[in-house]
Amino acid sequence: MMENNKIQPENMKAAGSAIKVVSFDVEGTMVTTDFSTAIWFEMIPQRYAERWGLSFAEATRKIKQEYDSLGDQHIDWYDVQYWFTRFDLGQADIAMEGLQPRVKYYPETKEVLKKLDGKYKLSVASGSPRPFLKHLLRDIEHHFSAVYSSTTDFQQVKTVEFWAGMCRDLGVEPGQVVHIGDHRQFDFLEPASIGIRAYHLDRDRKAGDTESLQSLSELVSLLSEGKINSEVDNADNSHHTG
């Protein structure tokens, strides 16, 4: 249990006021997966087909096998240049720049950032490598005072060590951070396990978990209604969602 002896008494009088940082995952959370899909399932198989003299369908089957054989728990899986090198496809960064028009934000993203900017310190906690974030955040990065890429900065997926390192770097206790993201393990279970107020975003309600949020706007409502506070275990008046 995290107890609050490091929180100054004057901060404890208003329950909601102790949240200092609102942290966002990027892909599947603020930005759609269109850009990534275009890279992994259009550009790479297309180049692979040309390089190795296969049909697009054959190339797609082959690269999917290769992706799956490595798996998303491995940091190389996230690295486009790793795959470009492995498949002998040239320079990834030049190819990625050409796909910038494929970056798409979810409808509420920009409005939500505008509403929260100035009220909280906003930060990014993403598993995407920085070469991706450069494109994915281009239109919204002015809202964020910090951007963390677990794969580039910490050489790992978003484990407990990543979340603890992020809090240390931000100079806050885990209970002063709200995070939202669409990966149940990396954005919810792992950060929640060290006391971050984590919310799982499930836009399509695929997981069927009633505690998940369906849009970023729901997080704004919870914050503005003071329903999120930093006291981790307050059985009397502190409820997570639902």
Residues that bind Mg ion (CB under 5 A): 25, 27-28, 182
β-sheet bridge partners, residue 120: 117
Closer Cβ to Mg ion, 87 or 132, answer by number: 132
> Cβ 126 to Mg ion, closest distance in Å?
7
CA distance to 65, 160, 176, per residue, from 78 (Å): 15, 19, 29
The pair phi, psi for residue 52, each rounded to 5°, is -110, 10
Closer Cβ to Mg ion, 25 or 190, answer by number: 25
The pair phi, psi for residue 125, each rounded to 5°, is -130, 100
Name the H helices within the chain.
Answer: 34-38, 44-52, 56-70, 80-87, 92-97, 109-116, 130-136, 150-154, 160-170, 190-193, 216-224
> Cβ 81 to Mg ion, closest distance in Å?
20
Closer Cβ to Mg ion, 89 or 147, answer by number: 147
> Cβ 187 to Mg ion, closest distance in Å?
7
Closer Cβ to Mg ion, 27 or 202, answer by number: 27
β-sheet bridge partners, residue 147: 124
DSSP annotation of 78 reads G
Query: With 0-12 CB in 10 A as exposed, 13-18 as middle and 19+ as buried, what is 203?
Result: middle
Amino acid at 51: R
> Cβ 178 to Mg ion, closest distance in Å?
16
Distance between CA atoms of residues 155 and 62, nearest Å? 27
Closer Cβ to Mg ion, 18 or 122, answer by number: 122
β-sheet bridge partners, residue 125: 148
Closer Cβ to Mg ion, 48 or 188, answer by number: 188
Amino acid at 236: D
> Cβ 161 to Mg ion, closest distance in Å?
19
> Cβ 73 to Mg ion, closest distance in Å?
15
Nearest residue to Mg ion, scored by beta-carbon proximity = 28
Closer Cβ to Mg ion, 33 or 221, answer by number: 33
Distance between CA atoms of residues 5 and 2, nearest Å? 9
Amino acid at 206: K
> Cβ 201 to Mg ion, closest distance in Å?
8
